[in-house]
Chains A and B, each alone.
Chain A
Amino acid sequence: MRMQCLDTKFFTSTSLVPMQLPSRMETHLWYVKPNEVKSEQLLNKYLEFLPKSEKEHVFSMRGDELRKGALLARALVRTTIARYQINQVSPRSLKFRKNIHGKPEVDWQQIEDWHPQQLHFNISHTESLVACGVTTHNPIGIDIEEKERKIKHSISSFAKRYFSQQEVQLLSSISDPEIQRQEFIKLWTLKEAYVKALGRGFSGSPFKTFTIRSAAASKESIHLSESSSFENSDIVVESLEDSTNHTGDWQFALLELAGSHYAAICSRKDCANIGSHPMKIGVWRTIPLVEDEYVSGTNSVIAVGGLM
């Protein structure tokens, strides 16, 4: 029987396996499952990566589970970005700032000797999964939601309040309440991912002002086929406001992650991507400093839409 010893000397920043940056057409997605991180020693190691302000934020969370989630989110972001640096970099040395709308980004200028990279990232977390998406040259937004998530309001009233008219119509055309709920959650994550990719904040791109739908569904046809509305089709966004919104610039992917979550990814199409190829995504399940597992092509990553 093999004893698994997680010795302290394993937990150094050199335990991060270096990674090559994704190409312009690729997206990398890293995720951690909090219930896979049990070692208090390891959690303390992650805590050491955080500056005072981030530590304060972690401890401002109410309760152990929320603190752990907040800690893992910061640890995931820092260790993920550190992996892509050409020279050995400690996750501790990364500095972050927010753009004028509040979207977090890396502050490259604060680190001497670094070359500013065209690295973009975005994180999302739920109680049971924390994820970080990485792209180069093009902004990215991601949103994760538990597949079983239930909302307190009725889907219909929620959609009427926040979604576009077409989206309301589509959802109300679904008679099975469970399928309706699933489609609602998928649509929510896609809309969130889009707004986060745009980086203008919730009020910069109000949910009512754009529609996300499958390319296969036309404006006129509001009826769903037997299968899910996003399956086997490109996912597109339409602006209901003004035509200068360049909605054609954005591409989407919807995945089922780890059997338990929907993950929506939105990124700007690369200018070199003339043929409008679907997003190429590499997914890793990780326990930073301990193990990384490439899970694309396994049951942990199932394409739901936008990836034909």
Chain B
Amino acid sequence: MATFTASSLSFTSLSISLDQNKGLARGSVSLPAKAKSFGALTLRSAPMRFRVSCAAKPETVEKVCEIVKKQLALPATTEVSGDSKFAALGADSLDTVEIVMGLEEEFGISVEEESAQTIATVQDAADLIEKLCEKKE
């Protein structure tokens, strides 16, 4: 009996001019859509990012990455960064609400459904956390 196995899904026979290693939307200028105040414009030394109001500290981003990796049971070697999209890492809706819950527990914040719905990347989550932490103080 003939068997067909695709040991690696590389779609090599199809010609498409996509660089598969390039993630989407790298180096994007990110302005929170609902930013109400434009505080001091801080030009950070971190490349490719201009943050208008609250900028997430690298430690916050790091913590979010940890929580995401844990929730999705990703191998420690998986590269997760601010750009990483939850969905692209394999998070479904149940994972996403668990991640939000994990972030609430870790940072002592409360995330509204409306805000939770807008979180697509690690950076989105980190920015939201910082915003909510600031509100608390």
Is B77 close to A, CB under 8 A?
no
Chain A 35-76: CB-based contact to B (< 8 A → 1; otherwise 0): 000111101100110000001100111111011100000000
A84 CB, min distance to chain B CBs, angstroms: 27
Cβ contacts under 8 Å, A3 to chain B: 1-2
Cβ contacts under 8 Å, B98 to chain A: 151-153, 158
Residue in B9, B70, B85, B113 whose beta carbon sits within 8 Å of that of A60 in the complex: B85
Is A202 close to B, CB under 8 A?
yes
Tell me the bound Cα distance from A202 to B2 in angstroms: 46
> B101, A66: Cβ atoms under 8 Å?
no
> B11, A47: Cβ atoms under 8 Å?
yes
Chain B 65-106: CB-based contact to A (< 8 A → 1; otherwise 0): 000001100000010000001011110111001100110100
Known: A62-B90, A151-B94. A67 touches B116 (CB 8 A): no
User: Which residues of chain A (123-160) have a CB below 8 Å from chain B?
Assistant: 125-127, 145, 149, 151-153, 157-158
Residue of B nearest to A208 (CB): B113
Tell me the bound Cα distance from A279 to B85 in angstroms: 37
> A162, B97: Cβ atoms under 8 Å?
yes
Residue in B20, B23, B71, B90 whose beta carbon sits within 8 Å of that of A66 in the complex: B90
Chain B 1-40: CB-based contact to A (< 8 A → 1; otherwise 0): 1111110110101101010100110000000000000000
Cβ contacts under 8 Å, A272 to chain B: none
Is A225 close to B, CB under 8 A?
no
Residue in B9, B24, B85, B112 whose beta carbon sits within 8 Å of that of A43 in the complex: B9
Is B137 close to A, CB under 8 A?
no
User: Which residues of chain A (204-231) have a CB below 8 Å from chain B?
Assistant: 206
> A5, B4: Cβ atoms under 8 Å?
no
Is A201 close to B, CB under 8 A?
yes
> A43, B11: Cβ atoms under 8 Å?
yes
> B90, A38: Cβ atoms under 8 Å?
no
> B93, A192: Cβ atoms under 8 Å?
yes
- Which residue numbers of B lie inside 8 Å of A, CB to CB? 1-6, 8-9, 11, 13-14, 16, 18, 20, 23-24, 70-71, 78, 85, 87-90, 92-94, 97-98, 101-102, 104, 112-114, 116-117
- Which residue numbers of A lie inside 8 Å of B, CB to CB? 1-6, 38-41, 43-44, 47-48, 55-56, 59-64, 66-68, 125-127, 145, 149, 151-153, 157-158, 161-162, 188, 192, 201-203, 206
Residue pairs across A and B with Cβ atoms less than 8 A apart, 30 shown, are A4-B1, A6-B2, A6-B4, A38-B6, A39-B6, A40-B6, A40-B13, A41-B13, A43-B6, A43-B9, A43-B11, A44-B11, A47-B11, A48-B14, A55-B18, A59-B20, A60-B23, A61-B90, A62-B78, A63-B90, A64-B8, A127-B90, A149-B94, A152-B98, A152-B102, A161-B101, A202-B93, A202-B113, A203-B112, A203-B117
Closest 5 CB pairs of A and B: A203-B113, A64-B9, A40-B6, A203-B114, A39-B4
Q: A43-B6, A62-B88, A149-B94 are in contact. List 8 more A-B contacts (CB 8 A).
A: A55-B18, A56-B24, A60-B24, A64-B8, A125-B92, A152-B71, A188-B94, A202-B116
